[in-house]
A and B are shown apart, each in its own frame.
Chain A
Amino acid sequence: MGRQKLAVLAIGAVGLAGALTVAAFAAPERTRAGAAVRRPSDPAEIMARVPARDASELSARRALASAPDDVELAVGLAQAELRRARGSSDPRYLGRAQAILAPWWRLAAPPPDVLLLRATILQSLHDFRSSRADLDQLITLRPDDAQAHLTRAVVATVTGDYAAARASCAAVARLASAVIAATCVAPLDGLSGDADAAYRRLAQVLASTRAAPALRGWAETALAELAIQRGDAVGALAHLEAIVARDPDDAYARAALADVLIAGGRAAEASALLAGHEQIDSALVRRAIAEHATHGPDEARLIQAMRDRIAAAAERGDRIHLREEARFALEVEADPPRALRIARDNWAVQKELADARLFAAAAVAARDPGAAAALVAWARATGVHDAELDRWLGQLDGVR
């Protein structure tokens, strides 16, 4: 071995020693999961936030622990968890409500109060078929239960069973206030072809009564959706902005407002509207879409966060809401075939206008009109007219 080779070998050895030293300082520990385990030094550091429990709920909990078969106690506590689920859009509380109802969860014929709660939880988990079965059973037991009819109308509408939905709305009209009845039937009127008349009727009823804030928000959301259907973005914006201003926790209206803004080329405003709400999937996916459209500063982070959420759901053998996943595939991942597959799976589960628009848009992007045959048949059978859907269906003819 020559002198030159020895010298270079020596340099290599010195380099190795240097690299080892640097490395020893740079990375003192290696954790398996990638996330570091730490022990905070400040005893007052807040590690987690949980709902503050009032004394009555705590005592009800203790009572239920000693008498787990007490239906009345369980129903009260499960209702509290469902209110949390609705107020925070956090699915954890659905699982907690379900656990409280565990003694009755698998019964074929649980008590009526449990049936209603079970149907509501199943609906929130998008198990519409089981939810509907519970509601049908509940209505034979309690034909005058307005909430049962209303929830049944919603589930039937979502799954495309419009005859059953109309029957339930008729029952609601008999049992509840005019605003509730009008809001129940308005989307059905919109779907059967005359969104203009449906909008006018509901607006008239709402203007002539003083509704409680939550009820008003619900009715106005229905108005906004009819406005979107008519292609009236200005009207929809006015309704949705009013709802969100009154109830900042209304995740549904906030997401709908963001959609109107994005569709109107105002993605930056949509992004600002959703900032700080990314914990909710529906907000995260829309903010990712908005940042992607404008190449905003949070684009990369939000896209990664959305991918992580889809992966985390898959890891537990689950999926996020298919509507959200399909939109992400279509508008951010630019993967029309995948978006089309998910949108079609989603259509098999639920058939709202938003699902129809997404399905049609994915079929156009994937240049696969045949895949959307079921959608075209549905649109023809209902006679529905929707500004955006009609546009997509027109383009679908073009790519044929």
Chain B
Amino acid sequence: MKALAILGVALGVLAATALPAWAHKPSDAHVRLAVDGPTVTGELAVAIRDLDAALTLDGDGDGAITWRELDAAAPRIEAYAAGRLAFAADAQPCPLALDRAGVTELSDGAYWVLALSATCPHHPQALAITYRLLFDIDAQHRGLVHVEGQTLIVASGDPVVAAVGGTTSFGAFVVNGIWHIWQGLDHCLFLLCLILPAVFQRPGARWQAAESLRAVAREVFEIVTAFTLAHSITLVVSAIGLVSVPSRIIETAIALSVAAAALNNLVRAIDARWAVAFALGLLHGFGFSSVLIDLGLPSHELIGALLGFNLGVELGQAAIVIALLPVLYLIRRTLAYQALLWGGSGLAGLIAAFWSYQRWFA
């Protein structure tokens, strides 16, 4: 129900003309942290409107804060943040350095971003974060501390403690890798398209069912190895930040690669499917790395994480191949196999074409 204030019905100056696209929401600030050995790096993002309430950035009082006013206030903002943000590793303080970075736009408006780095005496197990900005200005303000996949909500000036370092074990990355390949329908379909024809070979001039399981196993081994080699290369180069491709491009390219592999089964353009696996597998590695980056990768764990994740992907792949190959081998002379080869490849091609469209245009 709408309420009325009888007293003070005259609303006074209401120049709070928000830029139309910005959400009206309670005030939050974000502290994003990465812990790398004894060093804590990251950023602090505070709404410019909130900084104005604390520090009166709108010097001329016209209701608009320009970049000039903001940039001029940078030292004051830094001093304000430096006095109200502190880190400690297992009760020992970590001296903090702040540096201006710029502005970023979040859903409720522009935020001032400060780059931060703190050096602890040792690699913390428990990182204590004391955040005291803005609570005296806005009682509904919250500081949101994002660190290693956790978000800690700070509602008062009391320190909060984040357990760090122990959350991303080698085993966890292996498990992540396995799940990623199993849940990534696109990677599964790609692999499937490559190994479907393996039991039906062309040693001479015409196609025939493979004579021995050994020959089939060898070909599949070649394919899987080539795929592994290729996606490992691109996984590494993109995970260490050497290369970064926008996910829209990569995701579309991965979908197209599935379509290409399926098409190759239908038109039989390239018999050397291990080569197809290698060339197109390069794309899939970029896709894997985005998962790894989303997991929040600390650089001192990079090697372990990469090894673990890659190992998980291989295990997941191997499981699929081992489950599938004997069945394919057994039915290789039947009509069912022909139906699966042609129908399955056709269907995979259609699905992949649809994905390509969706990922590029949606």
Contacts and interface: CB of A to CB of B under 8 A. Distances in A.
Interface of A: 4-5, 8-9, 11-12, 15-16, 19-20, 22-24, 26-27, 29-30, 32-33, 35-40, 42-54, 58, 79-80, 82-84, 86-96, 98-99, 102, 105, 120, 123, 125, 146-147, 150-151, 154, 157-158, 176, 180, 183, 187, 212, 214-215, 218, 221, 249, 252-253, 276-281, 284, 305, 308-309, 312-313, 315-318, 352
Interface string B38-61: 000011010111101100001001
Contacts of A48: 47-49, 52, 64-65, 109-110
Interface of B: 1-9, 11-28, 30, 32, 34, 42-43, 45, 47-50, 52-53, 58, 61-68, 70-71, 101-107, 109-110, 113, 135-142, 144, 151, 153, 155, 230, 233-234, 237, 241, 243-246, 249, 272, 274-275, 278-279, 282-283, 293
Contacts of A252: 2
Contacts of A150: 3-4, 6
A218 B1 CA distance: 10
A16 B233 contact: yes
Contacts of B2: 218, 221, 252-253
A27 B244 contact: yes
B15 A52 contact: yes
A215 B218 CA distance: 85
Nearest to B243: A23
B137 to A, nearest CB: 6
Main secondary structure of the interface of A (DSSP, over half): helix
Contact of B245 (A27, A79, A157, A214): A27
A341 to B, nearest CB: 23
A92 B279 contact: no
Contacts of A105: 139
A39 to B, nearest CB: 4
Contact of A92 (B11, B20, B26, B62): B26
A96 B138 contact: yes
Contacts of B61: 52-53, 58
B107 A99 contact: no
A53 B40 CA distance: 39
A90 B109 CA distance: 13
Nearest to B109: A48
Nearest to A94: B140
Given A8-B275, A80-B12, A221-B2, A95 B141 contact: yes
B43 A32 contact: yes
User: Which 9 A-B residue pairs are closest in the complex by CB-CB distance?
Assistant: A95-B140, A8-B275, A52-B63, A98-B139, A95-B138, A43-B68, A48-B48, A52-B15, A87-B14
A49 B107 contact: no
Interface centre among A9, A45, A89, A278 (most CB of B within 10 A): A45
A19 to B, nearest CB: 7
Contacts of B151: 315
Contact of B135 (A49, A83, A99, A120): A99
Given A5-B272, A23-B245, A99-B135, A38 B102 contact: yes
A150 B2 CA distance: 11
A315 B144 contact: yes
7 contacts: A30-B293, A39-B102, A44-B66, A47-B65, A95-B26, A150-B4, A313-B25
Contacts of B7: 147
Contacts of B107: 305, 308-309, 312
A259 B66 CA distance: 38
Given A48-B109, A102-B136, A316 B153 contact: yes
